[in-house]
Amino acid sequence: MFSLITLSYRSAENIDRCLAALTAQDAQIIHADNSPGDLDMAALAAKYPSVRQIANPINLGFAVGMNRAAAESTGEWIGLINPDAFLDAGWLDAMRDAIAAYPDVRLFTSLQLNDDRPDRLDGAGDALTFFGFPYRAGIGHTRPDGLEIAEVFAPCGAAMLIHRDLWAQLGGFDEDFFCYCEDADLGFRARMAGERCLLVPNAIVRHVGSASLGVRSDFALYHGYRNRIWLYLKSMPTGLLIATLPIHIGMTLVGAVKDTLKGKGALVCSAVVDAWQGLRPILEHRKFIQKTRQLGSLRLAKSLTWNPLKIVTRDLDHRRLK
C-alpha cells in the first residue's frame, strides 16, 4: 500500500490541481496545510472526501509538517509531493514497476518537468557537488530522449517515494532545517547508511517550483545558506571534509559577495551566523552518522559531482545501473 502526502503553504492557486492528480492514484492521500486561514479546508474535504485533511494551527515548516503528516500515514511506501507538483496519471504504476524491478532499493525520485514548458526539465533527482552544495540536476535543460532508470545522489522532495522502514530508520526529515535542503540531507543520510536512490523517468510530474515562496525570496535565500552549511558539516566524512572545506568556504564567500551586491548582505550574514550558532545538534547528528555509516569515503566520492561544467550548468549527473 502507498500513502501520498502533500503539505501546502499559501498554495491556494495549485492545491486543487495537486489533489485532483493525487486522488487519481490508487493510494491513501493525506493533505496537511501550514497556512491557517489561507485555504477553505472544509470545501476541500467536501470535494475530496477520500483525502485525510490536516489543518496545522501554525506554519510548522516543511520538515516538521511532513514528518507529522507521515506519522498519520499507513502505507508501506510514503510518497512526498509538493502542492505545486502534479502527478502524471501513470506515476504510481511507474513507481510500482521500479520497486518490482529493484527490490533492494528503498528510495526513488521522479522526473520533474517544468509546468509551463514540459519540454524542459524541472529536475531529475538531486546532485551534490564535491564541495557540498546540492542542486536539482538538469533543471532548465531540454528533456532528453531515452532516459533510463539511473542512480542519483538524492531524491528531490517535490516528488519522491521512500519505504516506511527507511523513513523510520532515518527519522524522517531533520526538523532543525525547517525548510530547504531537507531532501538532499535525507538522501545524504540514506546514502551514508548504505542506501541508494533511483530516478524513475516514467514517474513524471509537472512542477511549478517555488510557487509558495518565490525562487529567490529572502526566506529561500536565508534557509539555503544556513541549511547548506549544516548538510555539509553533518554528513561529509572527515577525510573529504578536510579536503573540500576550503572550496566550500570559498564558494560560500563567492555567493555571499554576489548576494551582498544585490543588497542581501545582512541576510546572508545572519544565515551564516545562525548556522554556526546552531551547530551543536548538527554535530551530535554527525557523530551518529559517521559512527554508523555503511559507505566508505571513496564510494561516496564517486557519487558526488566533480565535473565543473555540470556544476555550473546544473546538468544531469546520473550513474548507470550495473
pTM greater than 0.85 (yes/no)? yes
How sure is the predictor about 211, in pLDDT bands with cuts at 50, 70 and 90?
very low
Write the DSSP symbol of residue 143.
P
Give the single-character DSSP code of 49.
T
Tell me, what's the pLDDT at 210? 57
Mean pLDDT for the chain?
95
pLDDT digits (tens, 9 = 90+) for 68-111: 999 999 999 999 999 999 999 999 999 999 999 999 999 999 99
Q: Which fold has domain 2-207?
A: Spore Coat Polysaccharide Biosynthesis Protein SpsA; Chain A (3.90.550)
List of E strands, the chain = 2-8, 28-33, 52-55, 77-81, 85-87, 107-114, 121-123, 126-128, 134-136, 150-152, 159-163, 197-207
Which string of DSSP letters, residue by residue, matches 58-112?
Answer: S---HHHHHHHHHHT---SEEEEE-TTEEE-TTHHHHHHHHHHH-TT--EEEEEE
> Cell 509538493 appears where?
82
Which pLDDT tens digit goes with each residue over 142-173? Answer: 999 999 999 999 999 999 999 999 999 999 99
Domain boundaries in the chain?
2-207, 218-300
Task: Give 254-304 pLDDT, tens digit per residue.
Answer: 999 999 999 999 999 999 999 999 999 999 999 999 999 999 999 999 999
The answer to whether 303 and 195 are in contact (CB under 8 A) is: no
> Under a CB-based contact definition with an 8 Å cutoff, are residues 54 and 179 in contact?
no
- Residue 215's pLDDT band (boundaries 50, 70, 90)? low
**Cell numbers given for 156:** 528531490
- Cα separation of 68 and 5, whole Å? 11
pLDDT digits (tens, 9 = 90+) for 183-201: 999 999 999 999 999 999 9
Averaged over 4-22, what is the pLDDT? 96
> Whole-angstrom Cα distance, residue 80 to residue 89?
16
Provide the pLDDT confidence category of residue 209 given band limits of 50, 70 and 90: confident
Record the cell numbers describing residue 153, joined without a space: 545522489
Give the whole-angstrom CA distance, residue 100 versus residue 311. Answer: 33
Label residue 315 by pLDDT band (50, 70, 90): very high
pLDDT-based confidence at residue 245 (cuts at 50, 70, 90): very high
